[in-house]
Amino acid sequence: MGRLVMKFGGTSVANIDRIRNVARHVKREVDAGHNVAVVVSAMAGKTNELVGWCGDASPLHDAREYDAVVASGEQVTSGLLAIVLQGMGIQARSWQGWQIPIKTSDAHASARILEIDGSEISARFKDRQEVAVIAGFQGINPQTNRITTLGRGGSDTSAVAIAAAIRADRCDIYTDVDGVYTTDPRVVPKARRLDKIAFEDMLELASQGAKVLQVRSVELGMVHNMPVFVRSSFDKPEDIDPHGTPPGTLICSEEEIMESHVVTGIAFSKDEAQISVRQIEDKPGVAAAIFGPLAEANINVDMIVQNVSEDGKTTDLTFTVPASDYTRARDTITSAKAKIGYARLDTATDVAKVSVIGSGMRSHAGVAAQAFTALAGRNINIRAITTSEIKFSVLIDAAYTELAVRTLHTLYGLDQT
């Protein structure tokens, strides 16, 4: 007998029929003799609707009340799944974040899980073979006793954290694709499913925009060495051989991966904005005058490019921020103009970041150079470049995102044959 966490995303619980399908998946694992904790998201589109309502109620709303509103989507699906499971004769009980409790920081709308008490769930496995149906995405701050949420896509993180807390053998993430692909299969039909991917590579893919897993869930998987298996909820539960290996992608430690390619995958994000600060003085302290206020405003700066000045007097500095922080970032820099000292700001919001990821890059030179040639061949202009040990990113005009991703996908031999 094993212990499993099964997480189902929004499209997998989009209506009662799909919830019934999820229940059959759960029953399959229960019948195979496993103890199961299920983590559910809100129905597809629900969280967006709730977020929209908060904005309509007041554009500058209290983050604590935002969390009270948006956490409700998962409350509904956890209750519904428990009802359907009970109707099938399976012992099941729903759990909200506060009931377990899933203790988090007080950073409302992007809280971090601090601690989960898995003892009650484990006791109920033992005493009653009861399935725990847990509302994903939400927790509680122990100091304030208020509901928190974990940031968009946060149910993945709930699932991996619960898997670690109850010492599960594996955390299965059921979604609307049958695994992690070399890039988003909805954008590149030739994308290839990976049988296995190392935590490090998955972490980069997720941080650079592949939304199949929330970044923090991959971090937690890595820290706890919890095998995470991404698979489709649309495979018919009845067709799955309980002893076979279903289609999907295992996220695991690098040592478990035999086959290694230089490039593992390509991610992209259109959620970017570029700000160029023109003619700043080339002297110590200017970068601090720019990035200090941005940090104070809690704005995450991503790419930073500064030129070496030609005359030793002035230079330009360009950086990117998430599109949702663009207005705040621009206003922050404008307010600090006297202290920074610059001639003007040039900004762009129709930009995208395309990132090429692969731990094999550690030992291979020239991988990025090939990309620059290929993108030039397609007449795609590169606005900024950043590199790290296992990835490089280019900032381009958003209109060319799909073309750039497909070009690089073919260039690095990732296309399905």
Minimum CB–partner distance for residue 158 and Mg ion (Å): 11
In this chain, which of 153, 209, 221, 248 binds Mg ion, going by CB under 5 A?
A: 153
Residue 9 binding ligand ADP, by CB under 6 A: yes
Task: For ligand ADP, give the closer residue by CB, 51 or 336.
Answer: 51
Phi and psi at 193, nearest 5°, equal: -75, 140
Helix H or strand E encompassing 21: helix 16-31
Strands 131-135 and 35-40: what pairing? parallel
Strands 138-141 and 196-198: what pairing? unpaired
Q: Which residues, numbered 52-81, are part of the site for ligand ASP (CB under 6 A)?
A: 73
Spatial distance between the Cα atoms of 116 and 100, rounded to a whole number of angstroms: 7
Residue 11 binding ligand ASP, by CB under 6 A: no
Spatial distance between the Cα atoms of 39 and 229, rounded to a whole number of angstroms: 14
Minimum CB–partner distance for residue 211 and Mg ion (Å): 6
Phi and psi at 233, nearest 5°, equal: -85, -5
Q: Which residues, numbered 15-44, are part of the site for ligand ADP (CB under 6 A)?
A: 41
State the distance between the two ends of the chain, measured CA to CA, in whole angstroms.
39
β-bridge mates for residue 211, sequence order? none
Residue 354 binding ligand ASP, by CB under 6 A: no
- The DSSP secondary-structure symbol of 192 reads -
- The partner in contact with residue 154, picked from ligand ADP, ligand ASP, Mg ion, none with C-beta cut-offs of 5 to 8 angstroms by kind, is ligand ASP
**Which residue in this structure is represented by tokens 């309980």?**
242
Residue 401 binding ligand ADP, by CB under 6 A: no
Q: Which two tokens stand for residue 168?
A: 């599960």
Residue 154 binding ligand ASP, by CB under 6 A: yes
Task: For ligand ASP, give the closer residue by CB, 136 or 358.
Answer: 136
Cα pseudo-dihedral 388, 390, 392, 393, rounded to 10: -100
Would you give the binding string for ligand ADP spanning residues 194-223, x where CB under 6 A is met? Answer: -----------x----xxx-----------
- The partner in contact with residue 172, picked from ligand ADP, ligand ASP, Mg ion, none with C-beta cut-offs of 5 to 8 angstroms by kind, is none
Residue 47 binding ligand ASP, by CB under 6 A: yes
Q: Which residues bind ligand ASP (CB under 6 A)?
A: 9-10, 41-42, 47, 73, 136-137, 152-156
